[in-house]
Amino acid sequence: MKKNFFRLLIMAAMVIGMTAQANNALAAVAANAPIINQATMWYDDGTGLQSVTAEVTVTVTLVPAAPVLDCPVDQTSPYTNPDTQHTYDYTLTAASNGPDDYTVDAAVTGSTNTTLTIPGTSEPLVNLAPNPIRLGATITTSGSTATIIAVPGDSGTPNGSINDIAVNDYVLIGTEVRQVVAITEDATATNYIELDVALPAAPLAGVGVYEQVTFTVDVFSGLLTAAGTDVTVDFDVTAENTNADSTSCSATSTFTSGVAVLTKFVRNLTDAAANTTGTGGQNFTIDGNGGLTYYTGGVTAAPSDVLEYVLVAQNTGSAPLTSSQVNDVLPIDYVDFLGGQYTGATDIVYQNDLAVESYYTQATGDDNGQLSGAALTVWVGTGAAFNTGGSIPATSNVKAIYQVTVKP
Ligand SMILES: [Ca+2]
Ligand SMILES: [Ca+2]
Ligand SMILES: [Ca+2]
């Protein structure tokens, strides 16, 4: 009699010892699993063999572990406005042996050439609801198939989930992610989780079943402070459980910046000598005429001389310039526009970034160039059309060319 009673005590002690030890290592048993031990005592009280039983149930405690966060790769795109945005994808996977609440946070850790670190500008946005989010988890017992996973009960009245793993949840088992299509709950016996697609093999006992969710984080450029220099935003995304075990991802968003430099060159086509005092000379080939030098200053002109202007729109930045157009206001008190000078009796020459020429009229609406009163407009760059500016690639230039006559 004494011996049996002693055995019961030993069993209870073993169970308690086991769970206490589990707190220091990765759990092999699911939280909330009921460990039921029953002892029986046999004796003869003179009327024959009798028995009494004693039962003790121990509920396995939660062993918290830092969640697993799959980190995205860095993103780069052209800066277009202060809310230029990158959206990053994350996967958050539970790692505790039972349900735990995870808080996801995002914060800028460093930035350059942007107002982003100034309060009131757009901080990264975590698109996860609810946040904190509860993720379920359990650990297999024996008896699984490849699609029906055997796990302990969660010691409660059936409530539509097993350790917060419910139908439609995604779970990671080994290296496989599956969706839950059905569960079978039982307060005291083995519970079952049915998967949408079979695993490669039935899991043995002791394999984690961890709920997984995906979410996105939006990262913004903030206001560019120096054109032509890229904006970089370094940020961390951190997921933390209720025990403050956390996992972080660091990433860098780069927003590239183009910068436009417009330079105006001129040459006196009538009087070559008037160009000898020119400064800032550069040679251009225009509509088949090569080798002529144009100047940024110092050119002289007499009444009735013909001048040719070359407007060079240059992108010295690292990103395309979009919506590009060149506008020039003619000094009509002194000059008259001189049309019909180019191929096909056209009025304006356009050279793209590969020096391929197009010829435009001064009329409005028929092509990418027009003269309206004193205002000359050329819509330039790749994809340009009438009234629509195009894109000038990084470190390249385009040109618009036209002629005027000095008033007599
Ligand atoms: Ca339950
Ligand atoms: Ca869940
Ligand atoms: Ca035109």
Distance CA 322, CA 216 (A): 28
Centre of ligand 2 to C-alpha 100, Å, is 10
Centre of ligand 3 to C-alpha 370, Å, is 4
Q: In the structure, what pLDDT confidence band is assigned to residue 156 with cuts at 50, 70 and 90?
A: confident
Q: Which ligand is nearest to the CA of 180?
A: 2
Q: In the structure, what pLDDT confidence band is assigned to residue 133 with cuts at 50, 70 and 90?
A: very high
How many CA atoms lie less than 13 Å away from 201 in the CB half-sphere?
Answer: 6
The predicted pLDDT at position 34 comes to 84
**Chain-wide mean pLDDT for the chain?**
90
| Contact indicator for 257, 229 with CB cutoff of 8 Å | yes
- DSSP letter at 228 equals T
Distance CA 239, CA 244 (A): 9
Q: Work out the number of other CB atoms within 10 angstroms of the CB of residue 277.
A: 11
Cα 368–Cα 373–Cα 377 angle in degrees, nearest 5: 25
Distance CA 152, CA 190 (A): 5
For 56, 268, 282, 286, 363, the CA distances from 292, given in Å and listed in that order, are: 101, 10, 8, 9, 28
Q: Which residue has the higher pLDDT, 223 or 78?
A: 223
Q: Which residue has the higher pLDDT, 196 or 57?
A: 196
| Contact indicator for 97, 54 with CB cutoff of 8 Å | no
pLDDT at 19 over 70: no
Determine the average pLDDT of the residues in 59-74: 93
DSSP string, 278-339: -BS-EEEEETTEEEEEEBSB-----TT-EEEEEEEEEE-SSS-EEEEEEEEE--TTTEEEE-
Query: CB neighbours of 47 closer than 8 A, spacing ≥ 6?
Result: none
Centre of ligand 2 to C-alpha 192, Å, is 15
Q: How many helices, marked H, and strands, marked E, lie in the chain? A: 1, 28
Centre of ligand 1 to C-alpha 201, Å, is 26
Q: Is 225 left (phi over 0), alpha (psi -120 to 50) or beta?
A: alpha
β-pairing verdict for 75-78 and 246-256? parallel
**In 3-state terms, what secondary structure has residue 231?**
strand
The predicted pLDDT at position 55 comes to 82
Distance CA 404, CA 308 (A): 7
Centre of ligand 2 to C-alpha 211, Å, is 6
Determine the average pLDDT of the residues in 150-167: 94
pLDDT at 180 over 90: yes
Q: Work out the number of other CB atoms within 10 angstroms of the CB of residue 167.
A: 13
Centre of ligand 2 to C-alpha 202, Å, is 22
**Phi/psi at 382 (5° precision):** -65, 130
Centre of ligand 3 to C-alpha 126, Å, is 49
Centre of ligand 3 to C-alpha 251, Å, is 48
pLDDT at 298 over 60: yes
The predicted pLDDT at position 10 comes to 36
Centre of ligand 1 to C-alpha 95, Å, is 19
Q: In the structure, what pLDDT confidence band is assigned to residue 318 with cuts at 50, 70 and 90?
A: confident
* Structure-block tokens of residue 180: 């839950």
Centre of ligand 1 to C-alpha 204, Å, is 22
Q: In the structure, what pLDDT confidence band is assigned to residue 26 with cuts at 50, 70 and 90?
A: low
Centre of ligand 1 to C-alpha 128, Å, is 24
Determine the average pLDDT of the residues in 167-195: 95
Query: CB neighbours of 311 closer than 8 A, spacing ≥ 6?
Result: 262, 263, 264, 265, 326, 328, 378, 399, 400, 401
| Contact indicator for 23, 17 with CB cutoff of 8 Å | no
Determine the average pLDDT of the residues in 292-303: 95
Centre of ligand 1 to C-alpha 143, Å, is 19
Domains of the chain in start order, with CATH, are: 2-59 (no CATH), 62-256 (2.60.40.10), 260-406 (2.60.40)
Distance CA 203, CA 149 (A): 8
Q: In the structure, what pLDDT confidence band is assigned to residue 58 with cuts at 50, 70 and 90?
A: confident
Q: Rounded to the nearest 10 degrees, how much is the dihedral formed by the CA atoms of 399, 402, 406, 408?
A: 180
CA 258 to chain centre: 21
Centre of ligand 2 to C-alpha 312, Å, is 61
Per-residue pLDDT reduced to its tens digit, 68-122: 999 999 999 888 889 999 999 999 999 999 999 999 999 999 999 999 888 888 9
Determine the average pLDDT of the residues in 176-189: 93
Determine the average pLDDT of the residues in 29-39: 86
- pTM recorded for the entire structure: 0.68
pLDDT at 13 over 70: no
Distance CA 287, CA 271 (A): 20
Min mean pLDDT across 185-189, 211-215, 402-406 is at 185-189
Per-residue pLDDT reduced to its tens digit, 88-100: 999 999 999 999 9
Centre of ligand 1 to C-alpha 260, Å, is 64
Per-residue pLDDT reduced to its tens digit, 256-291: 888 788 999 999 999 999 999 999 999 999 999 988
DSSP string, 114-142: BSTTSTTS---EEE-SSSSEEE-EEE--S
